[in-house]
Homo-oligomer: A and B are copies of this chain.
Amino acid sequence: MKVPKSLINTLNKEQILLLATHISPDGDALGSCLALAEALVVLGKKVYIFDKDPVPELYQFMPGHKKCRSTLGNLLKKNPLLILLDCNSPERAALEGYTFSKSVVIDHHETESPFGDIRWVERTAAATGLMVFHLINALNIRITKSMATNMYTAIAVDTGTFRYSNTSSDVLRASAELIDAGAQPGIISEHLYERWKKNRFDLLSLCLGTLEIRDNMAMIHVTKDMFNKTGTVEADTENFANVPRMIDSVVISALIRETDNGRWKVSMRSKGQANVAKIAAAYGGGGHRNAAGFRIKTDLPLLKKTLFAAGKKILPKR
């Protein structure tokens, strides 16, 4: 992975930097911002981190996360260099409508926008955190334990702790260096996977009880009533859509959640070539081939029937 010289030069030159990432930030978004911010402070820069949404409880173990701010205040008067991380348009970072005289994009997502004076987009990089690792090395900054923890978390989250097919040898070698710099895989994984609240676990248990499989498509749902019964909220269903994927016959899985009476949010996941983004697009939603979603006003039995029919159409022929 080659870090653009123009990026190195710009970072060395600019003194006031605004790092921003996408709304609903995940571990890669946050870890990339926090690690790069710390490195830029080492270079003597004045650094700010912006995310419209608060840091989710899950990620509040990440060193320096309290430095994230959700308002810009009068920061723009200082004419900062905007650095978008893990996204590549101001809209994704809830920064539409603001004007920046200079901007940088550091991202690994497939969908690209033309935004940014300097654009470093590596679509094949497993995580933006991996790009930041190479950037910090290119800036000749020693990686501290907190930077290492943040970048390791970023990479771990976007590779499913090294379970997804984007786990390359470069990913593992970078992660090895991060361990040597102080990242603790056991502790990071405990934070990511073993800190569920009991009521979230109860919700999962109820939700799994709703499993229906037809052809190679699995469906689970959560109603308002189930949220109320367990004292949980929508955020607690994070990753539930992935769970039925563990069944060998399941190629497509869908998680359906009731948001308001008669309103539903659908998250779909798929294995291999089955393109769930096609179904999402048909209902005004979006996403990628293997992860997409949409919102709809309907009733549950009809929604399920429609989804099973739509899923059947995109299932690869056997």
Contact = CB atoms under 8 A, between A and B. Distances in A.
Which interface residue of A187, A204, A248, A249 has the most chain B CB atoms within 10 A?
Answer: A248
Interface string A193-230: 11111100110110011010100000000000000000
A301 interface: no
Given A194-B248, A246-B194, A176 B172 contact: yes
Contact of A168 (B162, B179, B193): B179
Given A162-B161, A176-B176, A179-B168, A205 B211 contact: yes
Interface string A146-163: 000000000000001111
A185 B205 contact: no
Nearest to A206: B209
A186 B162 CA distance: 8
Contacts of A185: 162-165, 167
Nearest to A166: B186
B163 A247 contact: no
Contacts of A213: 198
Interface residues of A, number: 45
Contacts of A190: 271
A185 B187 CA distance: 22
A244 B194 CA distance: 9
A177 interface: yes
Nearest to A201: B247
A180 interface: yes
A245 interface: yes
A9 to B, nearest CB: 31
A78 interface: no
B169 A245 contact: no
Contact of A169 (B164, B167, B180, B208): B180
B173 A176 contact: yes
A263 to B, nearest CB: 27
A163 B186 contact: yes
B194 A204 contact: no
Nearest to A179: B169
Given A165-B185, A172-B179, 6 more contacts: A164-B186, A165-B184, A194-B247, A196-B248, A197-B248, A201-B246
26 contacts: A161-B162, A162-B162, A162-B185, A162-B189, A163-B186, A165-B184, A167-B179, A169-B176, A170-B176, A172-B172, A172-B173, A172-B176, A173-B173, A190-B271, A193-B246, A194-B247, A194-B248, A194-B271, A197-B248, A198-B213, A201-B208, A201-B244, A204-B208, A205-B205, A205-B209, A205-B211
Closest 6 CB pairs of A and B: A165-B186, A172-B176, A167-B185, A163-B189, A169-B176, A205-B208
